[in-house]
Chain A
């Protein structure tokens, strides 16, 4: 126990020494620094190695294998012998279903932000006001998010059944007839229906994040604005929301990444159908890989998905999130 604590303290000391030592050698003697460095290195290695091994086995290795598969024609057994170069990539990038899937992913990226951002802010602002049952309401709003994706999917699938489903029954009660093939079975409506379910599922997450962000907005600014005669709307518009910026940008980033990798909800609700109206890149690659045993094509599709997601993530980091990090750096400097 004590040993561990001392080691940890030493490690902490070592980190500071090393950090400063990098720039200017202020430490008393170079030899002791070296031995501390060596010890620190060993310690880091011992602590990090298990995680690194797992990371390589389950993240890096599969990724490298996917890249390897993507340049072969491989049916799922036997050695990789049929090298085809970039042919799998060409066939993926000229495949109408894949391009459609990419389009659907991008639609969901945009629609998620466009729908959930205003809705999320509105609900978060409401729930941030002092009221009765505040805790209960917050919990209710958050419930869809903690439901398992598969369960939520199956529930919605049943609700949306044409004619026998609850939603169609309610509509019928109001004298409205639902679409003949159901909301999920009509190609023109299916993607929007999936979008509605996704909004229901993930809005709670946005709201919780925004609420957390709102706690960081200083009360004094609010009061100051009120004293200056700002209305509630003006206070929200010019003070609260701008200060919520970093939270909003982080949320939008998570939402974008999630939308690009969307799989489970679509798989359960429509399986990518009807008539490929709701395919995503992930359903495409599962379909090609595990269903059709075209592991090469699936590999290529997964690499494309990875590249698209990585590019968008990096661009977002560079142009949008960088504002937040740059801001905080500046603030630190000023202090």
Chain B
């Protein structure tokens, strides 16, 4: 319908944008794009996002209105949804082929599948400037050297801990090596505190441990090769499982961890940390927000919130500073009008990312916006992210749900002592072979 913009106009719009983008400021860019768009008929862009409450929602409404004002003829149909609803609706939208013009993309294998089917627009040229500015952050949204999504928020996984309980157990410094972590676990146990909560019932929180051990044991080349070739024969993957078995053998986890959910309710892994029942949990940047939602005073751990990076593994071949993470990107379906790309670039501009950071809506990817993150724990995490050797996208996202699911299932079995290090690799490999 409204997507049927004459091709020529689209080309002109793209060219004008590319030219004006070189000019630098956002205002110029949007002005440049507005002239041909107004001549080529009206366009309505559908935008789905998940900031459906409070300031975040108002902010995005304003962002859309500003863009409309700067681009006469462009109307943005903003649809704010609760996150899970959005994910479900997006899935259905892909099945029916009626996808919004700007949608949230998690990257990795799922994106690669869509790219293979020719369903997602290549942004490497159209938004080249922004791609360059975001630097390594776009890696998770790159397929065969082309970028298909622009991440607007990216976090890394690490240990969130209760500083008061650590103090109570006599732990003075946050662990930096596995040896330190094991010592901390012993001290916590001696003090009668359950050391770690893990939502192994949901599987992915348990899988993050194995991912991190793989990150420490495997070199960056081996990992990036594995993402494309789906070849897991390198022995470092087995060593990752052995490291995991050692950790599980120390019995650091909350009772019943095999069926503990990740985030739902006070008895979930996040809930146990928030209600001071355990000392730490391995989780992503979302954790403070989740914990706030799980406590009556909406403070989560409040002042007692601490964060440290996943410890180093002695003798590992991998980058000991590498981080596991992931995030959300804006992407555009292949058949969407070019103004959608303009809008995505606008969303990642310095100005919009600054507001995004100031409202604590996520961890901005535009380097100029990092300084505006107010929350101290998040700011620390951002430091680690920016200092990390590289950020590896969660394996289950990177390998796609099919291989990732098989991998997570087997890792969860290892947590139950029912799968060996080799079996994790074998299960992953056989799921990967089924994909080839």
Contacts and interface: CB of A to CB of B under 8 A. Distances in A.
Interface of A: 75-78, 91, 97, 154, 157-158, 161-164, 180-182, 184-185, 187, 190, 269-271, 273-276, 287, 290-294
Contact of B117 (A77, A181, A291): A77
Q: Which of B95, B97, B119 has the most CB of A within 10 A?
A: B95
A185 B257 contact: yes
A185 B401 contact: no
Contact of B405 (A154, A185, A276, A292): A292
14 contacts: A76-B94, A77-B117, A78-B117, A154-B265, A161-B267, A163-B256, A181-B255, A182-B255, A187-B258, A187-B416, A274-B259, A291-B401, A292-B404, A293-B402
B418 interface: yes
A95 to B, nearest CB: 11
B352 to A, nearest CB: 29
B248 to A, nearest CB: 12
B201 A162 contact: no
A222 B117 CA distance: 73
Contacts of A163: 255-256
A180 B405 CA distance: 28
Interface of B: 91, 94-95, 97, 110, 113-114, 117, 119, 200-202, 255-261, 265, 267, 277, 400-402, 404-406, 409, 412-413, 416, 418, 434
A273 B255 contact: no
A84 to B, nearest CB: 10
B119 A77 contact: yes
A273 B401 contact: no
A157 B402 CA distance: 29
Given A76-B95, A292-B406, A293-B110, 4 more contacts: A158-B267, A275-B258, A275-B412, A292-B402
Contacts of A162: 255-256
Contact of B256 (A76, A97, A185): A185
B256 to A, nearest CB: 4
A269 B201 CA distance: 10
Contacts of A161: 256, 267
A77 B259 contact: no
Nearest to B405: A292
A271 B256 CA distance: 13
A96 to B, nearest CB: 10
Contacts of B256: 161-163, 181-182, 184-185
B259 A180 contact: no
A78 B258 contact: no
A274 B416 contact: yes
A276 B409 CA distance: 9
B181 to A, nearest CB: 22
Which 7 A-B pairs rank lowest in CB-CB distance, beginning with the nearest? A274-B258, A182-B256, A77-B94, A275-B416, A292-B405, A185-B256, A162-B255
B267 to A, nearest CB: 5
A271 B259 contact: yes
A287 B259 contact: no
Contacts of A78: 117, 119
Contact of A91 (B201, B255, B259, B434): B434
Contacts of A294: 402
A187 B201 CA distance: 12
Contact of A181 (B95, B258, B434): B258
A29 B255 CA distance: 82
Contacts of A184: 256, 259
B417 to A, nearest CB: 8
A164 B277 contact: yes
A91 B430 CA distance: 11
A269 to B, nearest CB: 8
Given A76-B91, A181-B258, A275-B416, A292 B117 contact: no
Contacts of B401: 291-293
Q: Which one of B201, B277, B404 has the highest number of Cβ atoms from chain A below 10 Å of its Cβ? A: B201
A271 B119 contact: no
Contacts of A276: 409, 413
Contacts of B261: 271
Contacts of B413: 275-276
Contacts of A287: 405
A77 B114 contact: yes
A270 B267 contact: no
Nearest to B94: A77
B314 to A, nearest CB: 30
A182 B97 CA distance: 45
A137 B75 CA distance: 63
Given A76-B95, A184-B259, A291-B405, A273 B412 contact: yes
Contact of B201 (A154, A180, A270): A270
A123 to B, nearest CB: 31
B420 to A, nearest CB: 13
A77 B200 CA distance: 29
Contact of A273 (B97, B258, B405): B258
A253 to B, nearest CB: 32
A5 to B, nearest CB: 46
Contacts of B409: 97, 276
B431 to A, nearest CB: 9
A91 B431 CA distance: 11
Q: Which of A271, A275, A287 has the most CB of B within 10 A?
A: A275
B255 A75 contact: no
B91 A181 contact: no
A287 B256 CA distance: 22
A231 B258 CA distance: 52
